C-alpha cells in the first residue's frame, strides 16, 4: 500500500517524536510509573499547551487542526514507540471521538477543554462478566425526573485515577446482553456516590475498579446514539491501539536487532547465525504487515457499520497475532534478561501482550469478521 502523509501530518509526527525523545526516555518513564501519581502531569500539559497537538483530530470549528483518524494513528504510533502512559487513547480518541460524533452543547463545552489539557476521560465500559460483548451490561441508569440514577461496577477503567470525567456505558432499558437500551453518559468523575479502587497494570498504566452507588447525573450527560455509537468509538479506539502496536513492535524489532549485533556467542555476534537472521526478517515482515493493515483499517472507518467492523476486526486479528509473535521472539532472542525490569525490551513485551487482548482478542475478531462477511455463504 502506497500512502503519502501530508506536510502537516509529517510535521505532527516529527514534532511529537522530537518532544518524546527529549522527555520520555526509558529511565524517565520508569520514574514516572514508579511515582505515586503514576505519570508526570507536566507531559500532558506540554502536549496541550506547548505543542498544541491534542487538537490534531478535531475540526477547526472546535479549535482543532482539522484532522481525524489518521492524526490519531500518527499520535498513537509515536506514543507506542516510547510506551507512553499518557491518557491520549481514553481522552482524545474515545472521549473526543464520542463527542465529535454526537455534537451539540456538551461537545462544544468539553472539546475545547480536552484540547487545552484540562479534561482527562476514563472509558468505563468493561464489566467483570462482560468480556468483549459491549451489550453485556448490568450497570443501570434509571430515569429520575430530568436526570438518571446510576448504579453498577466497571472494571479495569484505564486512566480513571487521573480522570476528571468518566464515559460510562449503562443500561437504560432492556435485559442484559440485549442491544436495545444501552446508552453512553459523560459524567463528572467526582460525582457523589462514585468510589474507586486504583491499581497499576502490568504494562505500567494505572486503572481502577469503579463503583457507582445511586449516582445522580443530569439528563444532558446522555450522548445519544446507543449501542451503535458505542461500537463506533470502540472500533476507532481499536484501530488506534493497532497504531500503538505498530510503534511498540517496531521498537521490539529494533531493540532485538541491535542486541543480536552486540551479544557474542562462539566468538561472534549472534546476529551472524542464519536462524536468528531469519527470525529478525520474520519480525520485520510482521511489523510492516500490521502497519499496512492498520492504515487500511484507519482509512475504512467512515464506511457503513458492517463494512467498518469487518475491516477493523481483520486488522486487529492480525495485530494481535503479530504483537504476540514479535514480542515472544524478542524475549526468546534476549533470553532471561528480556523480561527484567532493567531492560526496556521487557516493558515493550508487556505492553504488546496487553494489546493482544485489548478491545478483543484475535480469535474474537476473527469470529466477528466471519459473522459479518461469511454468514451468507452456503
301-315 mean pLDDT: 96
pLDDT of 289 strictly over 70: yes
Q: How confident is the model at residue 269 (pLDDT cuts 50, 70, 90)?
A: confident
pLDDT of residue 98: 97
pLDDT of 271 strictly over 70: no
166-174 mean pLDDT: 95
Domains, in order of start, for the chain: 7-88+100-118 (1.10.540.10), 123-224 (2.40.110.10), 227-373 (1.20.140.10)
pTM for the model = 0.94
**Grid coordinates in use for 235?**
472500533
pLDDT of 313 strictly over 90: yes
Q: Which residues contact 179 (CB under 8 A, 6 or more apart)?
A: 135, 226, 227
Q: How confident is the model at residue 375 (pLDDT cuts 50, 70, 90)?
A: low
Q: How confident is the model at residue 262 (pLDDT cuts 50, 70, 90)?
A: confident
pLDDT of residue 239: 98
pLDDT in tens, 59-83: 998 889 999 999 999 999 999 999 9
291-304 mean pLDDT: 95
pLDDT of 15 strictly over 60: yes
Q: How confident is the model at residue 377 (pLDDT cuts 50, 70, 90)?
A: low
In contact, 142 and 148? CB cutoff 8 Å: yes
Q: How confident is the model at residue 336 (pLDDT cuts 50, 70, 90)?
A: confident
pLDDT of residue 376: 58
Amino acid at each position: 500500500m502506497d500512502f503519502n502523509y501530508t506536510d502537516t501530518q509529517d510535521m505532527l509526527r516529527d514534532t511529537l517524536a522530537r518532544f518524546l525523545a527529549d522527555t520520555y526516555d526509558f529511565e524517565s518513564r520508569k520514574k514516572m510509573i514508579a511515582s505515586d501519581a503514576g505519570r508526570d502531569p507536566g507531559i500532558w500539559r506540554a502536549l496541550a499547551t506547548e505543542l498544541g497537538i491534542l487538537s490534531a483530530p478535531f475540526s477547526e470549528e472546535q479549535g482543532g487542526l482539522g484532522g481525524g483518524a489518521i492524526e490519531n494513528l500518527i499520535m498513537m504510533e509515536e506514543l507506542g514507540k516510547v510506551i507512553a502512559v499518557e491518557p491520549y487513547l481514553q481522552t482524545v480518541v474515545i472521549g473526543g471521538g464520542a463527542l465529535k460524533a454526537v455534537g451539540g452543547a456538551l461537545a462544544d463545552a468539553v472539546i475545547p477543554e480536552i484540547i487545552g489539557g484540562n479534561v482527562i476521560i476514563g472509558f468505563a465500559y468493561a464489566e467483570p462478566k462482560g468480556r468483549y460483548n459491549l451489550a453485556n451490561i448490568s450497570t443501570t441508569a434509571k430515569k429520575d425526573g430530568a436526570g438518571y440514577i446510576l448504579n453498577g461496577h466497571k472494571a479495569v477503567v484505564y486512566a480513571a485515577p487521573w480522570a476528571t470525567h468518566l464515559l460510562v456505558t449503562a443500561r437504560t432499558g432492556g435485559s442484559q446482553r440485549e442491544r436495545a437500551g444501552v446508552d453512553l453518559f459523560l459524567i463528572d468523575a467526582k460525582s457523589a456516590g462514585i468510589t474507586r479502587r486504583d491499581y497499576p497494570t502490568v504494562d505500567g498504566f494505572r486503572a481502577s475498579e469503579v463503583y457507582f452507588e445511586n449516582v445522580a447525573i443530569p439528563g444532558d450527560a446522555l450522548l445519544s446514539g446507543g449501542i451503535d455509537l458505542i461500537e463506533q468509538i470502540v472500533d476507532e479506539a481499536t484501530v488506534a491501539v493497532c497504531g500503538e502496536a505498530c510503534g511498540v513492535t517496531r521498537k521490539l524489532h529494533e531493540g532485538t536487532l541491535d542486541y543480536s549485533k552486540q551479544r557474542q556467542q562462539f566468538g561472534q555476534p549472534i546476529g551472524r547465525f542464519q536462524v536468528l537472521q531469519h527470525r529478525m526478517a520474520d519480525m520485520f515482515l510482521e511489523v510492516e504487515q500490521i502497519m499496512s493493515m492498520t492504515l487500511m483499517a484507519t482509512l475504512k472507518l467512515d464506511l457503513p457499520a458492517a463494512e467498518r467492523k469487518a475491516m477493523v476486526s481483520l486488522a486487529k486479528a492480525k495485530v494481535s497475532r503479530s504483537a504476540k509473535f514479535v514480542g515472544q521472539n524478542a524475549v526468546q532472542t534476549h533470553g532471561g534478561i528480556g523480561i527484567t525490569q532493567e531492560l526496556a525490551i521487557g516493558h515493550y513485551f508487556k505492553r504488546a501482550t496487553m494489546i493482544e487482548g485489548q478491545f478483543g482478542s484475535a480469535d474474537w475478531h476473527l469470529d466477528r469478521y466471519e459473522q459479518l462477511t461469511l454468514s451468507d455463504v452456503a
